[in-house]
Each structure stands twice: as structure tokens, then as C-alpha cells.
Copies of this chain bind each other. A is one copy, B any other.
């Protein structure tokens, strides 16, 4: 499928508006819901080691569940952007630029050290 971010944000907002749920969608509650869904996503990889975790989604059954949890994280993050009126592409590009300054290609290449240790 090909969509703009805005369209996806609109669908997520419509869903909440149709149910009169904006009253529950305080930034506090949405931040908790994102964290809760992120943890459910993480649980699929808990007892699998790093490289092996690349194969968790080879089978249809865990894949569908993982995609649903990942979608939940995205839905709630987009709804948080709706509620706080965040311009998502602008915020993402700004953060990528800030990360690029902290992790210059020549020093960050191939290592996972935190920027404070580079």
C-alpha cells in the first residue's frame, strides 16, 4: 500500500473520534499505552538470542502477532502526534539530523557505542 503519513494519521484519529475516545487520549495515557504495546512487541523476542530473533517472523503465526503489536505502537504514536499536533515527517527528519550530528558516519561506522563514548 502507498499512503502519506497524514492519511494514516487521519484514519487513526477517525477511529478514536467515532468512539468518543479523545477524552481518554491524554498525552499521559497515550504515552503509557505506547510503552505497554512496545513491551508486548518486545516479549516476542525475550528468550531468543539476537541473531536468532531475525528468524522469529519466518513463520506465519508469530509474524502476524508481531505485525499487530508493531502496528499498535505505530497507531498510538500517530495518535499522540494527532493529539499534540506534531508534524510527523518534520519531527522525524529533525531527529535524524540531530542523530547524524551525534553519530557522524566516519566515527559511528560499524560500532554501537553511545555517542558520548565515540
Q: B40 and A1: CB pair below 8 A?
A: no
Q: How large is the interface on A (under 10, 10 to 19, 20 to 34, 35 or more residues)?
A: 35 or more
Instruction: Quickly give the copy total for this chain.
Output: 4
Q: CB-CB contacts of A66-86 with B at 8 A, as 1s and 0s?
A: 111011111101001101101
> Please, how many angstroms separate the alpha-carbon atoms of A56 and B83 in the complex?
12
Interface of chain A, main secondary structure: helix
Q: B31 and A41: CB pair below 8 A?
A: yes
What is the interface of chain A, defined by CB distance below 8 A to chain B? 1-6, 8, 11-12, 15, 18-21, 23-24, 26-29, 31-36, 38-51, 53-54, 56-57, 63, 66-68, 70-75, 77, 80-81, 83-84, 86-96, 98-100, 103, 105, 108-110, 112-113
